[in-house]
Structure formats: structure tokens, C-alpha cells
Structure 1
Amino acid sequence: MRRVIVTILSIWIATIAASAFAKPPTAASGTVTGRVMDSVGEPLSSATIVLYSTADSDVARGAVTDEKGVFVFSDVAAAEYRIKVSFLGFKAFDSQPFVVEAGQSYTMPPISLEADPVALDNVQIEGEREIVEVLPDKTVLNVQGSIAATGSTALELLRKAPGVVVDNNDNIILSGKNGVKIYIDGKPSPLSTEDLAAQLRTMQSSEIDAIEIVTNPGAKYEAEGNAGIINIRLRRDKSLGFNSTIDLSYGYGKRSKYGANSTFNYRNRRYNVFGSYGYRGGEDESYINLYRIQNDFSFDERAVTENTGPSNRLRIGSDIYLGSKAVLGFLVNGYVNDRNWSNRSLTPITNLETNEIESLLDAQSINDGVRRNASFNVNLRIDNGSGTTSNADVDFGIYENGNESYQPNFYREPSSDSPIEDNIFRSQSPTDISIYAGKFDHERAMAGGKLGIGTKLSQVTTDNVYRFYDIEGIEEILDVDRSNDFRFTETIAAGYASFTGSSGSVEYSLGLRAEYTSSEGDLTAFKPANDNTVTRSYLDLFPSGGITIKPAPKHQLRVNYSRRIDRPSYQSLNPFEFKLSELSFSRGNPFLQPQYTNNVSLTHTYNYVLNTTLSYSHTDDFFARISDSTDVSRTFIESVNMDYQRVISGSISYPVSPLPWWRTYTSASGFNTRNRADLGEGRLIDVQATVVSLYHQSTFKLPSDWSFELSGWYSSPSIWGAVYKTDANYAIDVGVSREFFGGRSKVKVAVTDVFETAPWRGVQRLSGFFIDASGGWESRQLRVNISYLFGNTQVKKVRQRKTSTEDEAGRVD
């Protein structure tokens, strides 16, 4: 560990030294930067900045502040200027004249705006965010601006996000790659694919403000996630004083589901308190059909799954202002889901040589489970108002997942209802995960640009217990061959350095992140001979960088590169055999290796709205879940390392308003992917596919505060996992909304998947093993949402911050 720390510090020192001695750019123009905040020192995001030439009072440039209240004017001709700053609810600010010299950077003194409640009382807010915003570093789907999002869950919303595909196993795919890290309110989820999907299904659209898609994260972000990051940003009320929102929702497909969500926020000059509570109840139904050929027999399974059980989500936090330059924050998140679900299937088993059904398998799976998550964060942020900031986080998170399953299986002859054989078993599979983490980030102006450095240390411990019982009559017998314990501990120490700067019309960024990983997995079986321990330790470097060129006022070119890693989820390393049904089981692979990806992308932006992107990625040791056969009739699912995955992708997006009452957003993306692996014994995988996905959304403003929305998505034939070839599918949604009480209340009604075309189908062929799978859920639903806003409507954001457990949260099973 000492050698690792020395290595990381050496990287920092070398980068800092190189930046410190770099010469500032010289050009016939200069740069103007500044920062806008309110009277208590909080940054004002989206304030309007206008740069005027004092010689003729003409407008030279315009800009808006970022989330830190910072604005930058690059490539400003040498001359004398002044600026004007305006923000709703505050008095406008006019600066004194100042001179921009050629090749120099002029930094404005910190600008503090004074609140103007009189002006606010006479203003009716009519502005609306675009449904989709395409920003230089990310794409944002604004959920609260969408009618069709009414009553949707977070998982359903991801299906609508530009460039995002959610496959039949709830894997989230971005730009043709499935190594996506899901962040919730800036905090990475530590959950496995299955558990994360279950949690996202209980998160309602009324809780979500926006979904941010970052395809090429820089060195400041954890290196985890070869496809990038999707951040689900939760709602926080945006006001001075006090306000609160209440949302009620109801949906019906084949079963009823309902929910309620409330948020509150109170802020004065000394502190800010905010929170939210969300509840979801009702029932959900889904189905899956599996037609399988194995050893001259076919198995034609038809299964229906029903889910019940309420979920509760609580979030509460506080920011304490320590003078004008420091903020101390506390944040607590809690989640409880009493998940009960049952599965009923009927499987005819046919001898293909005689083409006769030999038996029917009537199987059930009755499950009683609970998920409890809690996380705690303490944050300190110091900002001197001149571009130097320091941010420290300390975090602790606990994740508990308990499940008990009862699975009776009865074999009978086709012509009889009496069983000829039964196989009944019960299992217990609790999982406990604890995460400790701390991180520190620092940014400052240096050599005409901005230097960022930081460090992070995290430790994750997961305890998995699996008990399997055979039931014979009234007696339960522990199966020692399938019952065991698995404990996994992982420690990651990381450090990074990044630098951003500009020279004329060229902006650039460079970054390097180092991560040292040490892990140990201990399998304790009831039979000592099967005990197993797997230990690993490795150091990786992850460079990143980008160049942005503005060859003309309305054109921008951006080139980005990054190297990233995907570590196996904690459960995928667990060698348990988890029985899914009488004929199938899943198991982990303790020797699964991380996968490494190199990404390169080229983006062109025209007129700040039309974006075209081309990208290339190559992933070594790509891991995927493979379905395979064992003995005569059983199958299993296991994650394995493939040789590589290669993806070439392109996308184009265009938000436009053809008419004042008509707003649209259209995106099209396509990728060609190739998966290759030699699994031995003649099982060679070499699969290629070219996939196209489309998304469109139109919103029409109608008289009397009515709105109408039409949206839809389409996905062409694709590849799921490594070898499944899937059919095309699509969905069309419609919705209407109306505002009441001066915009404080809104009623939304929507119908999703009007033609019920979202269900999926895929086929796998692998060395004499064939599966034809299809399935769906209640994709066609009628949904109603009613919301009301209490209190102050002044726009002032609650402080947004990320925590230090963000990355670990995406890997918990």
C-alpha cells in the first residue's frame, strides 16, 4: 500500500509541476471570467450574463452561469467592456468598465446579487425547460417537463432516455455498451442488476427532476463504467423561504399501482433544510416464455410473475452556512421495500425423436423478501469566491437484501392431473453490504486555466449467505452441497489530477486517474474441501482528455478520449449455485476479471443545438452472462470473460421549436458491435450486429393552459449479452396536461405503449444449445398524476453535491 500511495503522489506532483511551469497562451484576444452568488455566498446557477462594448454599447457576447455560478467568455477581442448580470428575484448588477488585454485573462471580482422580492411578486414564471438539453459534457432528459413521464418508474424513464436501451434482463445499455454506472442524486448505486432494477421500479417519476447522461467522464469521476454514467437527479424544491410539493399518481395496465411523493425545502441566511418522502404500492405483472432445445428434448416454458409489496423512500438533509465561504452539509437517505413475488410456470417436455410430450412440469416460486438501504453523508465545501474550491466528503452506507423462497415442482403426464414425481425445496439468501468512503477534491486557477486534484479511499464488505433445503414430507433437509457463505472485501485507493485551459478558439482538458484495488473473496462451504479464497491486487492508470475547437461562431468540434474499467459486481463473483427454478440456476465466477475499455469520440455541434457524434470503443476481457447446459435437462447462467467487444457508434440529436406552440426533440443513434470469444470445446462466439435506435418527442401548447404530448422510441434488431439476437421493438406514448391555480397545480393523464409493441424476443444458438426467449410487462398503462406546489415559487436551487460512495453503490447485489 505504501508503494501505491507513493505512486499516486508522484503522479499528482508531476502533473502539478507541469501545469505550474506551463506558459500561458498568447493571442490577439483575451478571456473574461467571473462568479455570481447571492447575498449569503451560494452560487447562482443559470444567471444571465451580457458583455457590452463600452465604445458603442453593443452586445459583444452572452452567457449563463454554470452550477457553481461561474461564467467564462473566451476569445474576447482586446478592448474596454462592462457586464450586466440578471437573475429572477434579484436586482440586476452593472459592472464598472474594465479592459481586456490581448493574451491575458481578466477575472471579475466576485459578484453578489441582492434579493428583490418586490420584483418577484410581480413576475409570473412562464419559462419551461426543454424536454431534452444537449450540453457540451452531457445530455439531460428533464423528466418534470414531460407529460408522457407521468406515473412512470425510473426504469421505464431510462427506456425513453436518448441513446439508452434497457434489455429483457433489465441491463442498461448506452451507445451499444452495457457497462453503465447508475448514479442516484450524484451517488453511484451499489446494487446488482437485479436489485437495482427492483429499486428503480419503485422510484416514481414524481421523485425525479432529470436524467443526466455522461458518455465520456473525466478524471474527476471514478473510472468505473465503460459506457459512461447515468445520473438520476432527484427533485429538490427550489426556493428561498419555505415551499413544499405533493404528487399523487395512479396507473393501471393489468393491475393497479399507485404512489405518493412529497418534498419540502426551507432556507434562510444561516441554514437550509430539505427532504422528501416517496411511497409506491400496488401490483405488477410480467411474463416470460422460454423455448429450449437440449439433448434431443424441447422444454417450452410459459411463466407469469406477480409482484406486490410497498416501497418507502426517505431523504433529508441540511446545509449550514459557515460565513460566506464555507458550507457544512448533512444528508441521510433511507429505502425499504417489502418485496413479495410469485412465479407460476407450465413446461411441456417433448422428446424430439418421437415428437411426443413425455411430461409436464408444473412449477411455482413463492418469494418473501425485503430490501433495506441507508446512507449517511457529511460534506464540507470551501469556496474563496475567486475560483479556488475545496470539497470533502465522508460516507457510510448499509444495504440489506433478504429473501426466502419456496419452490414446489410437480411432474405429471400430459393426460393426468396427478403428479408422478415432485421436487420441493426452500432457500434463504440474505445479503448484507457495508460501504465506508471518503474523498477530497480541490480546484484552483493556474497558468491561465484550472487545475483539479483529488483523492478517494473506499472499502466495501459484502456478506452472502445461502441455505438450501430439500423438503420431504414435513421434513426439511439441509443440502450441504449447495449451502455456503461468501464474504467479499474490496479496498480502492484513488487519486487524480486534471487541467483545463484555452488558447484562442481552442479549449482543452487533460486528466489522469490512478486506482489501486485490493480484494479478497472467501467461500466457506459446509464441506471443508470446497473452501476457496481468491485474492487480487492491481494498480491501474486511467488517462482522459479532450479538445474543443470553434472554427466558426455556430460550429464547435470536440474530441474526447478516456480509458475506463468495469469491475465485476460483488454477486457475480459469488460461486453459489442459486436455483432459479427446477430446470435452471445461476452461479457466480470468483475468477471473473475486470474489463478495460478505450473510448474515443468526435462531436460536432451546430448552432448550439444540433449535435452529431461518432465514437469507437474496444473492450478487453469483456464479461457477459452466458446461458449454458448441464446434464440432460438443466441449464445455468454464468458470467464469463470474452476475448473482446468492439463498438462503433454514431448519434445525432436536434431539439427544435418549429412553431412557438410546438417543441420537439429528435435523436437517432446507431452502432455496430462485435463480440468474440473462444469458450473451448468448439464453442466459438463471433457475433456482429448493426443496431439503430430512434426517439422523438413533440409537445404542443394548447389554449386554456392545456398541453399535449406525443413521443415514441424504436430499437432495431440487436444483441443482448454476448450471443442473444433480439427482434426489433418500439413504443408510442401520448399524454395531456392542464395547469390550475396559476400554475401551482398540474394534472397529467397519459397512455404508454399505445399499441403494446414494447415486449421483446431473442434467440441464442450455442453449440447444440438453442433458446428462443420472449417476454413483456405491463407496458401499456393508463396513468394519472396530480401535483400541487405550496409556498414560495422563487427559483433558487438547493445545493447539489455528490458523495464519496457513488461508485460503489452500482455493484452491490
Structure 2
Amino acid sequence: MKLFIMAFFAIWLCFAPDFLMAQTIVGKISGKVVDENGRPIDGATVSLIRLKDSVTVKYELAAADGSFNFGISDVGVYRILIFSIDKLPYKSERIAVDAQHLLIGLIPITMQTVAKTLKEVVVTSRKPFLEQKIDRTVVNVDALISNAGTTALDVLEKSPGVAIDQAGQISFHGKSGVAIYIDDKPTYLSGSDLENYLRSMPSSTLSQIELMTNPPAKYDAAGTAGIINIKTKKTKVKGFNLGVSLGLRQSRYTATNNSMDFNYRKDKVNVFGTFAYTFSNGYNDIDINRSYFYNAGQPSGAFTQNSYIRSKSGGYNAKLGIDLYTSENTTIGVLLNGIVRSPDQFNSSKGQLFNAAGQPDSSIISKNKEQGKFKNGSANLNYKHTFKKDGPEITANLDYLAFATDNNQSFLNQSYATTGSVSIDQLNGNLPAAIHIYSAKADYSQPLAGGWKLEAGVKSSYTNTDNQANYFDIVNGNTITDDDKTNHFLYKEAINAGYINLNRDFKRLSIQAGLRLENTDSRGHQLGNAQKPDSAFNRNYTGLFPTIYLLYKLDTLGDHQLKMTYGRRIERPYYQDLNPFISPLDKYTFYIGNPYLRPSYSGNFELGYIYKDRISLTMTYTDIRDRSTETIEIRNGYYYDRPGNIGSTKLYDLNADASFDPAQWFNLELSGDVWQLRQASDFYTGTLNSHNTSFSGQAVLQFKLNKGWTLQTDGKYQSKQTDAQFTLAAKGRLNIAASKVLSPRTTLKLSINDLLNTNINQGVINNLYQTNASFRTLKDSRAALLTLSMRFGKAVKDQRKHNQTGAGEESDRVKN
């Protein structure tokens, strides 16, 4: 019945009566383009940019007398960009169109001629590192030279407010639970699979990172810390176009990141695609120290362990799409994606046990191997129809995604007693998993009378997961099933959702408000074996998720703006975290799922100030209930890592971003966060009650020199911070980079990341039963990267973007 109602709603949207008030011209911006001698420049390309969202509203070619005219249908603040052959690009100051300034005539614009000695004209338009919008902050990936030759995970770690811990978990402004999207589509991954997937995406394929603490209602409500949307590059060319990026990474070991994209457009057909190959080759050098105590506090023993993990992974990432422009108003598209990755990992570790007197008691040498295969395929069918110019529009998406993983493990442990005796045990594991996700989505937008715009949509998704863990003890050459660890977990989930969103720009006030309704029905079933009985759970819950954005201009030009946002969100448990199985990480460390995990809910309130789109100051308050996070328990000297709910989490954050241009050749970008995190919850050792204040700062300095050279240095510092049981030590990094434009379509970049080798994860684990524990992880973060980028083809502006598909937030919850 729910699906029927939602389908009826979608059909009604398609045939809703057109009550759009005809769009009228309320103002005009006119001007004239001339050269240094006052002669008109015929054919100069003039673009009108709306500063609120950086959208190019209109563009035209200057007339024979150099004149241009733009009709303005909405009041607001705009900017003029002008390009012409042999001329330096021109960018105007902010131009405000309001009730007092509707007809604006610009003084003649003089464009300077490029120096005659140049053999080629390289016209570039430097994008700022950060852009502020009403509902998100945008990071332009190519604005940071040291991003060249890296991966999507490295780009995220360099983004303001984003941190990645020792386990590869991503947090945003001090909060975990962020949902990761690719081109407005969830990744359907989490944990180590998400980390490895992002490492398989070369930075050369990325365009922007959108940081949204309060995403609009059109996005799924998942992600208590908001959404990070990674936008890939879209080729905008007619005919045939090809781009190639080759990257070499040298640290202790050699790795590579390479990509190729193409586009062919003719008449009503557009074919496009990308292909990437990455080979990661690195290490983790991990030290773990554990001290045990009696009830009275006297030492009872200790354990130290060093693990050297060598990891290699070759991966292919491919995308192929086609658009058919069946009419001026209708487009049908098909998009196929595929990922194949083969990670190999070898862990050589040595552990030493000590007695209460601090004397060696026994030791253990482990040699653990993991060989895996990860495959992901997806298909998207999309439809877009605009009923008339600047009028109602409907889009629809059908998605199918399939994930298949297979991980073979081997744990070989040799234990040595002080008496000289030796014992050997071996455990082998095979962990196949299959996940299938189906999604259908429809969105409708309609301009309304009075300048309002309505957006509404419905979505249904269905997920079916099948996870197996088969473990075998090897005893005297015989294989014996380990029923304590072997399990088979089935999980099914259906989510039905609908939303409505309204927005309008007034004279000085911009409003956007939305409401989203989501219903979740989930069913889990762990099959039994000779030692364990079947277990199952069913859950059904519904939630309302409002969002609101207010942007007020304190002056006519909009130089001073105030922003207020509020949003409510949900974080559903990762699929595999609900499975109560035991999975070994090494002889003394195990992972356990938690079928009693509850979804967590957050309310996020922000108040901000923006000055000339260059300086922003934002205060945030976030209240999270039942936040899901990693917890560690000690039982008889063994570590059990399991997800758990933290009852109450409150975060207070002050964020500042600033961009300065002290000179035409020098740009400075600054970003900083100060936050206080307070947490309280029942825990197995009593009450977990922690609070601390932390700081994170980032700076980017870029120097644009002559003859196509650009130099850059950037750095980031993270102070000591406490989150749940973990207290992480301060860390930072310094990067230096240089780029050289060899020709208008060829660029060479060289960078050294983490020059001082200070990006080290280390810390302590709190609230352990009669135990103190600390860790230190050293990895190959210091590396030299060399990239060569080449492009062939002629750029145009009328290319459709493929960044909207219908699959839901379920991807962020796949955890293998």
C-alpha cells in the first residue's frame, strides 16, 4: 500500500497542472568591451554569474560595437566574466540588482592584451580553494596543487574540517557518522571497503568536494554529521575529446594513479566515459602496548606487540554512459559503473607477554595473510523532461547495484614459553559476501507565483545482503570447522521516503525549507550451526526530518550576510554491524557485531556570518542521541572491538574560513575549527563521561609566477582530542608543490606530501577494565608525487551533467 501511494504521488507530479507565472524581466545589466585603444572587441564571450550559488545564468557574445545586454529576472548579486582571444580574462566587482538599482549601465570595460612575446595564449581562471553557498561549502580540488597524483581519500583529508583516524574512519567538524556521496549518489560502502574504494579513485578524476552539515531535504536523511559529496569531472566538449592523467607516487614503495576520460558528442547523442587504474603499495607499522592490573591497582602483567603490515592493491574503475536528446526538452540516459579491486595484505607481528614483576613470560610470532577480491557493478537509467523553458521539470532514476566480495584469511601463530616449549595454531577463513540494492526515485520542480520554487519527490529502495564467515582450525594437517566463529547472516531492508522543499529569494532574504519523511523496515537472520542456534530480529520505524536555511544580506551589495540553518538527521547501523558474529583480527583481538544497535538521531543548528564571500564565521551546536561508534572491551586479556550506542553526544563548534589576495600573484587560504565534544553513556566498566576541547587549522599559500609556474605550500594541524574511548595525540603535516604549464593543454605537477613525516596516528584507549592501552601507527604518508595531465579537444558549455541518480543512502552502510 505504501509503494502504491508513493507511485500515485509520482504520477500526480508528472501531470500536475502548470500554474507557473510567466517569468518577467525586472532589470538589466549592460556594458561595452573595448581594448587599450578604445576599439570595440567584437565576439568577446561575456558571462553573467549569480554569486549566491556561482551559477552561470546567461552568456552571450559581444556585438560588433562591443556592447552586451543581460535581462535580469531575479534581484540579487551578480558578477561579469569576459574572455577574448589574446586578452587577459576580466572579472568585475560585485553588481547588486535590487529595487533601487534595476537598470545598471557599466562603464566601458578595457581588456588588456597578452604580452606579444608569448608563443601561445594560456587563458586560465583560478578558482578559489573554498566557496560558500547557502547550504554547503565547496572545495575546488584542482586549486590545491598537492592534490595532484593523490587519491580521493587524500583529497578528503586535506579538506577543511575533515579528519581521518587510525582506522580510516572519516569525521567532519569533530563528528563521525558522515555520509560519503559520489556525484550526489551514496557510495554504498563503509569501513575498510569505503577507505579502499576512495584510495582507488585518482584525484585527477575529481572536480569538487561539497561539504554539507545540513543537507537539503532532497538528499537522504542519513548521516548524523552531514554529507560529503565528491563530484567527479565532467567533460564538456563536442566531437571527440580525450584527457589523460599519469601519476607516480614514491615513498618507501612505489605506487601509481592513472586515469583517462573521453567524450563524443554529435547531434542528439552523447557518449562519455572514464577509466582509471590505481596500484597502491604501502605499509603500516603499528605498536600496541597493554598493561593489566588487579582490583587493588597492582600490576598483573603486560603485553606489547609490533605489527608490520605490507599491503598492495591493484584496482580498475570504469564508467560508461550515453545520453539521448530525444527532443529539446527531453533526455534519456544510461550510466554503467564498474570497480574491480584485488587487495593483498601480509601482517608480520611479534608479541611479548610479561608477568606481574615485569619479566618476560611468553612470546608469540604471527604471520597473517589476507587475499581479497572486491567487485562492484551498477546500472542507472535516468529520464529528464522540462515541460517548458524555465518551467516545471521532472526527473526519474532507476538504479541497480551489486557488490561481491571474497576474502581469504590465514592466521598462523607460534607461541614460545619461557620453558622452551613451542605451540603452533592455525586458523583459516573464507568470507564471501553479496549485496544487491534496488532503487527507484522521482523528483519534480515547479516555479510558483511570487518567486517561490517548489521541489518534491519520492523514493523507494530495497537492500538484500548475504554474508558468510567460514572459519577452520588446522590441527595436525586436518581441517576442523570452528563453529564459534563460523556464521551465515542474511539481512533485508526497505526504505520508503518522500520530501517537499520550498525556496525563494526576497530583496535581502533568501529562504529554503524542506521536510522529509522516511520509513524503514529491516529484518536480520543469523543462521545457526552445530553450536549456535538461529537468531533473528525485525524493526520498523518512521521519522520526520525538517531542514531550514535563512540567508540575510545586511547591505545592498550583500557584502555582509547572516546565515542560519537547522536540520535533523538519522544514522542507521551498518549492515554487517548488526551481525553478532566473532571475527578475528589477530590472536588477541576480535571484532563482534551488535544486533541491538539502534539508529542514532541528530539535531544540528548553525549560525554564520559571511563577508564578501571571502570570510565566513560559523557557530554550530549538534545534539546526537544513541550515536553509534567503535567500543573496546577487555575479557580475560582479549580485546573485543564492537559497535555500540553512546547515549548522549553534544558538540559545540566555531569554524572560520578566509581567502585573501594580497597581490595578483599571491593567494592565501585559511581555515580553522575549535570544538568541544561532550559525551555520556552507560558502559561495561560503569559510566563513560568525557569532554574535551580541540583545535584544527589549515593554511594554503599559492604563488603564481611567470612562464606558467605556480608554487604552493599547505599544511594542517590537529590538536589532541578525545572521542568516546579514544584519546588521539596531536598531529600535522606540511606539503609543498609546484606546477608548470607546458602548453595550453599539458601540465606537469610535482609535490611532496607530509614533508616532515608528522602525520602520525597515536593515542590511548580509555575506560578499559583493569587495563591501560596505547597505540602508534606509522604509515607512508611522506611521499613524492609526479603527475602529467594532457587534454585534447575543444571545450563547450552545453553539456548535460550526470550527477543525479536515484540510489539512496544505503551505500554508506555496506561494511565488509
Structure 1 length as normaliser, TM-score?
0.87
Q: Which residue of 2 aligns with 1:372?
A: 375
1:644, distance to aligned residue in structure 2 (A): 1.1
Alignment partner, residue 337 of structure 1 = 341
Partner Cα separation in structure 1 for residue 269 and residue 492 of structure 2: 38
Q: How do residues 750-769 of structure 1 correspond to structure 2 at under 5 angstroms?
A: 750-766=751-767, 767-769=769-771
Aligned match for 1:789, one of 788, 791, 799: 791
Please tell me whether the aligned partners of residues 469 and 486 of structure 2 are also in contact (alpha carbons under 8 angstroms): yes
Q: 1:461 aligns with which of 457, 464, 481?
A: 464
Give SS of 2:126's match: coil
CA shift at 1:133, angstroms?
2.4
User: Aligned residue for 1:181?
Assistant: 179
Q: Describe the SS at the equivalent of 1:260.
A: strand
Q: CA distance change for structure 1 residues 502 and 523 in 2, over 3 Å: closer, same or farther?
A: same
Give 1:179 deviation, angstroms.
Answer: 1.1
> 1: distance between equivalents of 2:347 and 2:124?
49
Alignment of 1:639-788 (within 5 A): 639-680=643-684, 682-720=685-723, 722-741=724-743, 743-766=744-767, 767-788=769-790
2:269 to 271, 294, 302: 271
**Alignment map for 1:313-324 (pairs within 5 Å):** 313-324=317-328
Which residue number corresponds to residue 593 of structure 1? 598
- The residue number in structure 1 matching 2:62 is none
The whole-number CA distance in structure 1 between the counterparts of 2:11 and 2:512 is 16
2:546 to 529, 543, 548: 543
Question: 2:448 — aligned with what?
Answer: 446
- 1:565·1:597 contact (CA, 8 Å) conserved in 2? yes
1:160-175 matches, within 5 Å, as 160-175=158-173
Measured after TM superposition, the shift of residue 547 of structure 1 is 1.4
Aligned residues of 1:183 and 1:230 also touching (Cα < 8 A): yes
CA deviation map 1:522-556 (0-9, x unaligned): 00021375211110011111111121111213111
Does the alignment pair 1:514 with 2:517?
yes
1:85-164 → structure 2 map (5 Å cutoff): 124-164=122-162
How far does residue 72 in structure 1 lie from its aligned partner after superposition? 7.2
Distance 2:313 2:448 in 1: 55
Q: Secondary structure at the match of 1:310?
A: strand
Query: Which of 242, 250, 263 is the matching residue for 1:244?
Result: 242
1:472 is matched with 475
For structure 1, the residue ranges without an aligned partner over 5 or more in a row are 35-45, 51-60, 90-99, 107-121
Q: 2:812: which partner in 1?
A: 810
CA–CA separation in structure 1 for the residues paired with 2:279 and 2:729? 32
What is the 5 A alignment of 1:259-338? 259-294=257-292, 296-338=300-342
The one-letter amino acid paired with 1:201 is R
Give 3-state SS (helix, strand or coil) of 2:145's partner. Answer: coil
Note if contact 1:439-1:454 (Cα within 8 Å) is conserved in structure 2: yes
What letter corresponds to residue 340 of structure 2 in structure 1?
Answer: V
Displacement of 1:688: 0.6
Check the 8 A contact 1:12/1:497 in 2, yes or no: no
- In 2: Cα distance, 1:438 partner to 1:88 partner: 45
- Counterparts of 1:475 and 1:254, CA distance in 2: 40
CA shift digits 1:692-732 (9 cap, x unpaired): 11111111112221111100000011124x11111110000
Cα distance change on mapping 1:179 and 1:101 into 2, 3 Å = closer
Other-structure match for 1:576: 581
Q: Which residue of 2 aligns with 1:605?
A: 610
Asked whether the equivalents of residues 236 and 265 of structure 1 are also in contact (C-alpha less than 8 Å), the reply is no
Letter in 1 for 2:55: D
Q: Secondary structure at the match of 1:642?
A: strand
Shift of 1:10: 10
Deviations 1:546-593 (A, max 9, x none): 211112131111111110000001111111101111001001111100
SS of residue paired to 1:623: strand
Q: Does residue 49 of the first structure (1) align with residue 53 of the second (2)?
A: no
For the structure 1 residues 47 and 684, does the alpha-carbon distance in structure 2 shift closer, same or farther, using more than 3 Å as the test? farther
Letter in 2 for 1:542: F
Q: Distance in 1 between matches of 2:266 and 2:122?
A: 23
Q: Assess, with a 3 A threshold, how the Cα gap between structure 1 residues 84 and 69 changes in structure 2: closer, same or farther.
A: closer
Which runs of structure 2 are paired with 1:465-504 in the superposition (5 Å)? 465-504=468-507
The answer to whether the 8 Å contact 1:33/1:72 transfers is yes
135-144 vs 748-757, which moves further: 135-144
**Equivalent residue letter for 1:375:** S
Counterpart Cα distance in 2 of 1:289 and 1:257: 25
Name 1:119's counterpart in structure 2: none
CA-to-aligned-CA distance 1:218-275 (integer Å, 9 cap, x gap): 1111000111111111222222222111111111111111132111112233121111
SS in 1 for 2:344: strand
Whether contact under 8 Å (1:30, 1:75) holds in the other structure is: no
- Corresponding residue to 1:428 among 422, 430, 433: 430
Which ranges in structure 2 are unaligned for 5 or more consecutive residues?
A: 30-44, 60-70, 86-96, 104-119, 294-299
* Residue matched to 1:228: 226
Give me the whole-angstrom Cα distance separating, in 2, the residues matched to 1:380 and 1:625.
41
RMSD, aligned α-carbons: 3.2
Q: Secondary structure at the match of 1:157?
A: helix
Offset at residue 8 of structure 1 (A): 11
Q: What SS class does the counterpart of residue 158 from structure 1 fall into? A: helix
Mapped partners of 1:68, 1:456: distance in 2: 30
* Secondary structure of 2:554 counterpart: strand
Q: 1:62 to 1:669 in 2, by over 3 A?
A: closer
Q: Identity of paired residues, percent?
A: 27
AA in 2 matched with 1:374: G
C-alpha deviation, 1:396, in angstroms: 0.2
Q: Distance in 2 between matches of 1:83 and 1:287?
A: 52
Q: Secondary structure of 1:148's match? A: helix
Paired position in structure 1 for 2:254: 256
Kindly provide the amino acid, as one letter, of the partner of residue 334 in structure 1. G
Question: 1:361: which partner in 2?
Answer: 364
Q: Distance in 1 between matches of 2:287 and 2:257?
A: 30
Q: Distance in 1 between matches of 2:494 and 2:350?
A: 45
Structure 1, 198-207 or 466-475: larger mean CA deviation? 198-207
- Structure 1 equivalent of residue 624 of structure 2: 619
CA contact 1:336–1:370 (8 Å) conserved in 2: yes
In structure 2, the residue corresponding to 1:226 is in which secondary structure?
Answer: coil
* Amino acid corresponding to residue 460 of structure 1 in structure 2: T
**Does structure 2 retain, via aligned residues, the 8 Å contact 1:8–1:514?**
no
d(CA) in 2 for partners of 1:300, 1:405:
23
| 1:374, distance to aligned residue in structure 2 (A) | 0.7
Distance in 2 separating the partners of 1:62 and 1:759: 40
**2:624 maps to amino acid:** T
Q: TM-score, normalised by structure 2?
A: 0.86
- Tell me by how many angstroms 1:305 deviates: 0.8
Query: Which deviates the most, 262-271 or 639-648?
Result: 262-271
Q: 8 Å contact 1:673–1:690 — kept in the other structure?
A: yes
Q: How many angstroms apart in 2 are the aligned matches of 1:363 and 1:76?
A: 66
Question: Secondary structure, in 3 states, of the residue corresponding to 1:569?
Answer: coil
Residue 153 (structure 1) shift:
1.6
- 1:100-129 Cα shifts (integer Å, max 9, x gaps): 9979x99xxxxxxxxxxxxxxx97522222
* Maintained 8 Å contact 1:48/1:62: no
Post-superposition shift, 1:322? 1.5
List per-residue Cα deviations over 1:187-236 (Å, max 9, x = no partner). Answer: 10111211100111222112222222112101111000111111111222
Specify the alignment match of 2:64 in structure 1: none
| Equivalent residue letter for 1:284 | G
Instruction: Specify the alignment match of 2:637 in structure 1.
Output: 633
Q: Deviation at 1:488?
A: 0.5
Contact residue 311 and residue 346 of structure 2 kept, 8 A: yes
In structure 2, distance between residues paired with 1:166 and 1:84: 39
Q: Using the TM superposition, give the Cα deviation of residue 664 of structure 1 relative to its aligned residue in structure 2, in angstroms.
A: 1.9
Quote the offset at 1:795 in angstroms: 5.1
